[in-house]
A = this chain, B = another copy of it.
Amino acid sequence: MINTLIKNIQEKNAPIVVGLDPMMNYIPEHIKKAAFEEYGETLKGAAEAIWVYNKGIIDATYDLIPAVKPQIAMYEQFGIEGLIAFHRTCAYAKEKGLVVIGDIKRGDIGSTSAAYAVGHLGRVEVGSKRYVGFDEDFVTVNPYLGTDGVKPFVDICKEENKGIFVLVKTSNPSSGEFQDKLVDGRPLYELVAEKVVEWGNECMGDTYSNVGCVVGATYPEMGKVLRKLMPKTYILVPGYGAQGGKAEDLVHYFNDDGLGAIVNSSRGIIAAYKQEKYASFGEENYAEASRQAVVDMIEDINGALGK
């Protein structure tokens, strides 16, 4: 699957991913109004609004971008109806040729991780049949439980040609609380990075591994070190834009081949119409504002990369 992601990135000359993390207050009034008129102010109404909103953004940007990254929490908060919207969003994005990175940050003991892996990347057995559950292309994985919590995901990646991104150094302010703690003089996230390489060696694509990692844009010095520690690991980089990460900080997340990193923006793209810069599009044309924000983000990142 990493080969497909890289192919998409190269064809579109866009090392970015759009985070589909819908919040109710991002969704334009006309969409909410129509959804609530049809289903009432219910969980189903909220899910319909999220789906229509996402579809608008996908339709307006799919030709420019290689991938989307829906954050499942933003759907799960609306219970079953929200998860139906998540599933529908993933399926629609795939129909449009996009790679889908499910930002699910799952991780558990072996047999339980296997169930998550099956549900999100594989196929589950029901009697003599097998079915896909959520069917993303990649998912994010939490490493706190160690190898036996991650390996079941790697096994499914091998079987199904899928991929994962393991949390190494997250973008949030308190990520250092545990991740930066020194173990024999080296931060814990470096130890995790070494394991990522080990897990990834088992599951290589042509040039990069199907086991990638997450390193936040907000910690560029650490990104630089981690890039060197994990030369064949694709880095999913959250934290650009709204969280404070800048394009020039991200140069060192890439390898000399111009590959090796994919930068996420969520709010900065999907709620672009709320920014002064894109306000002239108007709320009705939120999707066109998102398209323009994608164009600007690609230019910003490629500019910093000298492309």
Contact = CB atoms under 8 A, between A and B. Distances in A.
Interface of A: 21, 24, 32, 36, 41-43, 45-46, 71, 73-74, 76-80, 82-84, 87, 105-110, 112-113, 115-116, 118-120, 124-129, 131-134, 142-149, 167, 170-179, 181-184, 188, 191-192, 195, 238
Contacts of A195: 177
A146 B263 CA distance: 23
Number of identical protomers: 2
Nearest to A76: B119
Contacts of A146: 172, 174-179
**Which one of A24, A83, A108, A113 has the greatest number of beta carbons of chain B within 10 Å?**
A108
Given A80-B83, A127-B36, A183-B182, A73 B145 contact: no
A281 B136 CA distance: 42
B178 A126 contact: no
Contacts of A79: 87, 119, 124, 131-134
B191 A181 contact: yes
Contacts of A74: 112, 115
A127 B105 CA distance: 29
A95 to B, nearest CB: 18
Contacts of A80: 80, 83-84, 87
Nearest to A122: B77
19 contacts: A36-B127, A43-B133, A71-B108, A73-B112, A73-B116, A77-B124, A78-B126, A79-B87, A79-B131, A82-B133, A105-B108, A109-B172, A143-B144, A145-B170, A145-B172, A146-B178, A149-B170, A178-B191, A183-B188
